[in-house]
Chains A and B, each alone.
Chain A
Amino acid sequence: GAVVSQHPSRVICKSGTSVKIECRSLDFQATTMFWYRQFPKQSLMLMATSNEGSKATYEQGVEKDKFLINHASLTLSTLTVTSAHPEDSSFYICSAKTPYAEAFFGQGTRLTVV
């Protein structure tokens, strides 16, 4: 299957700093990318959907000024957690797809804010 690479796999940052997570589709062009977060013992929750070249669509309750998503090319989307706080500590997962095809997922990023 197609490969989606997410980087970094783990990151620890200080409270108040920003963290950028990258999601790359390595062997296909992803027209749509999704960002999820997962708290312990809870479901993966969709945060936002992004289409190449346009603004991301955020789910209700997700702060778009805090979670900045950029989908500048067909192979790269980034999620920036701005002014991170301990409550932002979570597991973040991206997925990428082309129209009418299944979504492929990255390995996930474990963010810890101290």
Chain B
Amino acid sequence: GDSVTQMEGPVTLSEEAFLTINCTYTATGYPSLFWYVQYPGEGLQLLLKATKADDKGSNKGFEATYRKETTSFHLEKGSVQVSDSAVYFCALSDLRSGRLTGGGNKLTFGTGTQLKVEL
């Protein structure tokens, strides 16, 4: 079945440091890939997404490129801020092998990576 593997945390960085959170996936079909972020006390929010190979998703300075050859979707940011401290989840949704239930798409998540950014 589909699965997502992401690096374990917590990841602790100093402000303005470069961030990489690794994410790899296995899927039988043609997945769309997502990064979600969860700030303390809040729900998961979609950070960025990519729907096909070589697509780059970007938002708020974060980027991730859909690499089919390495089945990866690593999250990067050139200069992190304290306000980026949160838990980041990599996820995939596979329209072909997943379940479509009345318009719903099943999301498969990684374990989440906690990021702590310090001054």
- A residues apposed to B, CB below 8 Å: 1, 4, 6, 9, 31-32, 34, 36, 38, 41-46, 49, 51, 54, 57, 93, 95, 97-100, 102-108
Contact = CB atoms under 8 A, between A and B. Distances in A.
Interface of B: 4, 8, 36, 38, 41-46, 49, 89, 99, 101-112
Given A49-B104, A98-B103, A43 B43 contact: no
Contacts of A57: 99, 101
Contact of A97 (B41, B104, B112): B104
A106 B38 CA distance: 10
A33 B103 CA distance: 10
Contacts of B111: 41-43
B103 A44 contact: no
Interface centre among A6, A9, A31, by most chain B C-beta atoms within 10 angstroms, is: A31
Given A46-B107, A97-B103, A97-B104, 13 more contacts: A1-B45, A32-B101, A44-B89, A44-B112, A49-B106, A51-B104, A93-B43, A99-B103, A102-B49, A103-B46, A103-B107, A105-B43, A105-B44
Nearest to B109: A44
Nearest to A104: B43
A6 B109 contact: no
22 contacts: A9-B41, A31-B103, A31-B104, A34-B104, A34-B106, A38-B112, A41-B8, A41-B111, A43-B4, A44-B89, A46-B106, A46-B107, A51-B102, A51-B104, A57-B99, A98-B103, A100-B103, A103-B46, A103-B105, A105-B44, A105-B45, A107-B42
